Structure 1
Amino acid sequence: MKHLNKLLVAVLMTMGLSSHAQDSNNPWAISFGANAVDTRTSAGGGNGWLDRHFSQPFAVKDNWNILPSVSYLSVSKYIGDNFSFGVAGSVNKIDKYVMRDTNGALMVTNPGDLMYYGIDATIKYSFMNLINSKVIDPSLSVGGGYTFFGDSSYGTLNPGAGLTFWLTENVGLELATKYKKSFGDREDASGTPDAPTHFQHSAGIIFKFGGKDTDGDGIYDKDDACPEVAGLKEFQGCPDTDGDGIPDKDDACPDVAGPKELNGCPDTDGDGIADKDDACPDVAGLASLKGCPDTDGDGIADKDDKCPTVKGPKENGGCPWPDTDGDGVLDKDDACPTVPGPASNKGCPEVSAEVMKQLNDYGKVILFDSGKSTFKKQSYTVLKSIADILKEYPNSNFMIEGHTDSDGSNALNQSLSENRAAAVKNYLIENGIDASRLRSTGYGETKPIDSNKTAKGKANNRRVEVSLIKE
């Protein structure tokens, strides 16, 4: 018994650090009783693993080592989701050790009344809730421990199973078994027991405790739906602060009385939307607009509608889109909102053949310095006229083309035509035409419109043409 006393002290000291499986109302449990150690399982022999380990599971008289006293103590605590964690200590005396003789036959020997001590930690899963029982509590467990076997000591891996019969809510009969797989040799070189794998069975009484009434409302926590707040018995221990007949835990507005159909919240404007969810709590409105009215029915709440009495799209603040130039194309879609034009040209005026002829007539009288891309002074009036026309068609893009007569080399004429076309383009950009609307190119002497054999023909061939770019 002196060993048991040491064991009790050691286990009780671990209570503050341990946890094992019960329930949330009675999380702590302590169990004690007798244990039996059976070394048959690792003695070998038999046909296959099952035969070697389970061929003599109930050879109590022959193989089991049992002390005629309380020989184990366990402290455990519930950790949630049917899991518990605990620590246990056990003591025993080994006077029946199963081994094999030189011929391989099983024999039971007394190794000298070896003392046995075990310290184990276990995680256990209870199936009691899954089978919906209040009496039968089957479980599976896994854990590890350390065993002192005579002069030897070694670690073990401990899968196990258990069955508890709850005689009352807090007291039960506990049966359990563990397969304690050792990490070491079964016997040493001389045949003395060293680190045998073994079964350890236990039977005892288990007590659950720890149930309490945290909020002091006279309702036990396990039956209290609000265990941390004092409440009323008719609401399973939950309070009803505003007295509207809805417990605070189910009341979306626990401090202000309201009808049950609105989860206990008031509805000041009577539109069926609780004030807490109503963006316009003092004015009846629509649920789709969070309780706000929509006078013109355009789907925009009056508080957000810049034109609350006239329908309009949300993109324009609830106001109808304007059509400033009256061409039938709304300003939002009109690339030229202040100048009338057909919808086919995004509301911008279209460039007619007459306008293109006028542009090209101007282009023919643009005069350049001889052999250069600089303008003669009298050309600026013509260039301004071209710029003014292009400004009337802000949605149209144009190509500026340069042409020369055949005097000089082809390469020189090509370069000159490109430079003169670029000069016209640059002038137009500098005078208010967006660069993205203009392109320029040169064709040199490759596209004559008259004979290069006469002075008049050459003059006609030296020209700038403007063409409309159609996207």
Structure 2
Amino acid sequence: MKHLNKILVAVMMVMGLSSHAQDSNNPWAISFGVNAVDTRTSAGGGHNWLDRHFSQPFAVKDNWNILPSVSYLSVSRFVGENFSFGLSGSVNKIDSYVKFAPGTIGSDSRGYKVSDPGDLMYYGVDATIKYSFMNLISSKVIDPSLSIGGGYTFFGDSSYGTLNPGAGLTFWFTDNVGLELATRYKKSFGDREDAAGVPDAPSHFQHSAGLIFKFGGKDTDGDGIYDKDDACPEVAGLKEFNGCPDTDGDGIQDSADECPNDFGLAALNGCPDTDGDGIADKNDACPTVSGLAALNGCPDADGDGIADKDDKCPTVAGPKENAGCPWPDTDGDGVLDKDDKCIDVRGTVANQGCPEVSEEVIMKLNEYSRTILFDSGKSTFKNQSYTILQSITAILKEYPYSRFLIEGHTDSDGSNELNQTLSMNRAHAVENYLIENGINADRLQHTGFGETKPIATNKTAKGKAMNRRTEISVIKE
């Protein structure tokens, strides 16, 4: 019962106290396995200190005490900078106790004798600070370490404290499971044996081998990357993106991917470019046809700056104002219809596409206008003049964008004032007739010169008849 109580105390101390451990991702570690106690190291003899302690380190059969079951348990916690702190409890049975007794029966050639002290029970509770060299050697499998600590040992009916320098070597099979090998020299500060030669407080080596498990790391999203190193701890992601996802698998993490659900190009911030024109589909008005950036990814076959989809004449260059089609020139006079005031009649550029009023036409108009007959001393027409007026009207309609001046003239009979008024009224009468018969008023002006511009002598009846006239001329812009 006494031994059972000691075991329970050791286990409760190990499991109940906060301890420190393996790495920052999995801060906790627990290990268990078998331990071996070697008492030769404090037996004396030998040529020097090294010879006494290390001349027979692996004399397992003669010197080691091993229980054929799990005989140690350790819990540890990472404290940073490659250091961990741990507590361990161990149990053993001492049935091989080494003494230096040269010349006695059963001693070997070096004077060492192994005896059974009476199946002494062994219990140990130890605290250890360990330094791992795993990061320094940049290994993920081999984990060498050095340690220092202290503990309390129950050796049969005696108990004592120890100082425990040690070393270890762990082989990690995975990130969390490994094989741990360790040795500690447990230096006692008491007498090795009592006056009767019974073991009291011997220094000794304690070796251990067992499995170690790291745990305690938090991985909320289950992506294998611990939260402390996971830039996206609540969303499963990839190691190369520090735990952030790449939903479309294009090598660009979602947070930097403008099209996270569509496989795309790095040059386009993760967005696809179906037609390969360098414009992301989301910004491409014509995503399946290669086009120009200036036209939002749409093609322009005729190069007129208008996207084919908006161009009514996609194979022939034309202005935007005409929906991409070239302006027509219906009458072929070199003046585009949009600028041509006489679309269906050939004209000249100088006259906005309308035909010029030639000198011959002016002569023809004046031949007609000079034969217009008025009632004597009046501005009313004689009946025979209407045919002439109709001919004049027809000619003016051939030049719909030309403007004309109608001049009235008289002979010298009568006063100047009367002749001036009469000439003005007769010119006005001609103008009114033309307007009433379809000539735009904006195209006509009239004036009177009275008797001031004769074309023949007023001394003869024939000359006077020639001076009583109307004339038509073109108004130059």
Task: Name the TM-score, length of structure 1 as normaliser.
Answer: 0.48
